[in-house]
Amino acid sequence: MTSEQELQETILDLLPTQGNWSEDGYLWLTDQSNQLLEYSDGYIEVLPTPTDRHQVILRLLAFVFYQYLQPRGGTALFAPLRLRLRNGKYREPDLLALRDARDPRREELYWTGADLVVEIVSADRPDRDLVTKRREYAEAGIPEYWIVNPLNETITVLVLDGSSYREHGVFARGAQAMSALLPDFAIAVNVVFDAE
32: buried, middle or exposed (CB in 10 Å: 19+, 13-18, 0-12)?
A: exposed
CA 185 to chain centre: 20
Residue 7 confidence (pLDDT) above 70: no
Looking at per-residue confidence, does 73 or 5 come out higher?
Answer: 73
Q: Is the pTM of this model over 0.75?
A: yes
pLDDT band at 149 (very low <50, low <70, confident <90, very high): very high
Residue 34 confidence (pLDDT) above 90: no
Cα dist from 149 to 15, 29, 172, 184, 188, whole Å: 35, 29, 10, 22, 14
Cα dist from 80 to 21, 125, 162, 181, 185, whole Å: 20, 19, 29, 24, 24
Average pLDDT over residues 132-159: 97
Residue 19 confidence (pLDDT) above 90: no
9 three-class SS: helix
Residue 133 confidence (pLDDT) above 70: yes
pLDDT digits (tens, 9 = 90+) for 44-68: 999 988 999 999 999 999 999 999 9
> What integer pLDDT is reported at residue 181 of this predicted model?
97
pLDDT digits (tens, 9 = 90+) for 79-116: 999 999 999 999 999 999 999 999 999 999 999 999 99
Between CA 71 and CA 86 the distance in angstroms is 30
